[in-house]
Amino acid sequence: MAEFDVDLFVIGGGSGGVRAARIAANYGAKVMVAEEYRMGGTCVIRGCVPKKLFVIGSHVHQEIEDAAGFGWSIGQVSFDWATLVANKDKEIARLEAAYTSNVEKSGARIVKTRAVLEDAHTVRLATGEKVTAKYILIATGGAPNHGPAVPGIEHVISSNEAFHLKELPKRIVIQGGGYIALEFAGIFAGFGSDVTVVYRGDNVLRGFDEDVRKHVRTEMEKRGITIITGCTVAKVDKHGRDFTTHLSSGSSIASDQVMFAIGRHPNVANLGLETAGIAINPANGGIQVDGWSKTSVDNIYAVGDVTHRTNLTPVAIREGHAFADTVFGKRPVQVDHATIPTAVFSQPEVGTVGLTEEEARAQYSHVDIYKTDFRPIKATMSGRDTRVLMKLVVDGSSDRVLGCHIVGDAAAEITQAVAIAVKMKATKADFDATVALHPTASEELVTMRTPTARHVRQAAE
């Protein structure tokens, strides 16, 4: 009789857990996956995929407006929110079925129930069944964080509910200044809502390059989005179907929807972590792991947003794959968390990889900046008042490109390709030696020859 019921028990059917389960099963492991809600996790069900579909849909309004400059005469158009939501739901259901099918095809078994740790090798299912496992992987992801409770917090929605609203809000207040807040601000504005963004910091997109932050805010405000910084929501009152949002500054805003997007926290509650002896990282509130994604308990690992290292779907997938390779494939693999490309599907779009100017100047003695801000070719005919930002951060001593930051159409697509070069430690000379692809916005990345700024850090005397 086998010592354990399964070789691997995965808690969480999102991107990281699914990849780990499939790869481990392919190595011959007996695998069980528990998912209490829907297979696919945050990204597929209530995150990047439905969000990107909404972003694409909201762009259509701008395309219609821009068409006149190219000779198109488009008559009266209308938009139906219910149709968008229904079609999105259909696509998410298709993806969920594909995730489920791929796991089952690998030979792993899915149980649609909650799972809680009883000890280092035992998991108790909500059905009452107990399963023993040689290894356990926790991949429960994260959830929206509403922050400190304010009066009227019960009236506030998160990004989860935003995907299922019965109707498009005419006016919406969004608190937050990161990825989710700005992406939904662009989505709702694109569909015609009056949008106000409220953020406690001095400017949106904290942690991004300063030039990116300024450029994005300017462009969003050009598109009619109101951005209020330096204050927070203090109270939300409901009057019938409408709301009044009271700000810490003393002013108030009327709307028919209020959304908080002020961050996400790791899903660590009520999993039995304390019972199993699993440590939480006090710095970020996620499960504490080492470079191999191993927790403080030898046979228990954790990947993805629940560790609160880098909350990005491709990172969770890479971590899940590396775990399975290491533990079941006997091929030790560690994930390199440096130089991870990321995108914000705000409007305008942001793509970035590597160091910001501020980070580079803190780490390197000589930093050269190459930056351009220009009107894209489409705007010359559409008449739209918009500009593209492209910026390279270069080590002035070695000539290595340390970071690339783009704001504008297709920024994410461009950045994915540039990330390969940055990961390979390409130099500015390598960029300069590459023939430009004309006419594109991205050709600016290989035609910027003169630094716009050079920074030299003086050695301490």
CA distances from 98 to 8, 14, 40, 166, 225 (A): 22, 12, 9, 27, 37
Q: In the predicted model, is pLDDT for residue 147 greater than 70? A: yes
Q: Do domains 6-144+265-327 and 348-453 have the same CATH topology?
A: no
Question: Is 164 annotated as catalytic?
Answer: no
Q: Which of 139-153, 187-201, 217-231 has the lowest mean pLDDT?
A: 139-153
What are the tokens at 454?
């050079």
Residues 6+ apart with CB under 8 A from 139: 10, 11, 12, 14, 16, 17, 20, 41, 302, 303, 304, 306, 316, 320
For 62-93, what is each residue's pLDDT tens digit?
Answer: 999 999 999 999 999 999 999 999 999 999 99
How sure is the predictor about 34, in pLDDT bands with cuts at 50, 70 and 90? very high
Per residue in 406-417, pLDDT (tens digit) is 999 999 999 999
Percent of the chain whose predicted confidence (pLDDT) is above 70: 99
- Contact (Cβ atoms closer than 8 angstroms) between residue 197 and residue 177: yes
CA distance 31 to 10: 8
The confidence score (pLDDT) of residue 460 equals 46
Q: How far apart are CA 229 and CA 177, in angstroms?
A: 9
pLDDT digits (tens, 9 = 90+) for 282-318: 989 999 999 999 999 999 999 999 998 999 999 999 9
Catalytic residue, chosen from 59, 366, 438, 455, is 438
Q: Is the pLDDT of residue 459 over 80?
A: no
Mean pLDDT, residues 119-133: 94
Does the domain spanning 153-262 belong to CATH 3.50.50.60?
yes
Average pLDDT taken over every residue of the chain: 94
Q: 274 pLDDT exceeds 50?
A: yes
Whether cis (ω within 30° of 0) applies to the bond prior to 376 is no
Q: Is the pTM of the predicted complex or chain greater than 0.75?
A: yes
Residue 461, pLDDT > 60, answer no
Sort residue 141 into left (φ over 0), alpha (ψ -120 to 50) or beta.
left
Q: Whose CA is closest to 415, among 348, 347, 351? A: 351
Task: Parse the chain into domains and list their residue ranges.
Answer: 6-144+265-327, 153-262, 348-453
Topology (CATH level 3) of domain 6-144+265-327: FAD/NAD(P)-binding domain (3.50.50)
The answer, yes or no, to whether residue 174 has pLDDT greater than 80, is yes
Which is higher by pLDDT, 432 or 47? 432
pLDDT at 332: 94
* Distance from C-alpha of 106 to C-alpha of 33, rounded to nearest angstrom: 12
Q: Flag whether pLDDT at 418 surpasses 70.
A: yes
pLDDT of residue 145: 85
CA–CA gap between residue 393 and residue 430 (Å, rounded): 14
Contact predicate 273/11, CB 8 Å:
no
Q: How many CA atoms lie within 13 A of 289 on its CB side?
A: 25
Topology of domain 348-453, CATH: Enolase-like; domain 1 (3.30.390)
The first and second tokens of residue 36, run together, are 């209490």
CA distance 239 to 422: 53
- Return the structure tokens found at 42: 């945050």
* Structure confidence at residue 457 (pLDDT): 84
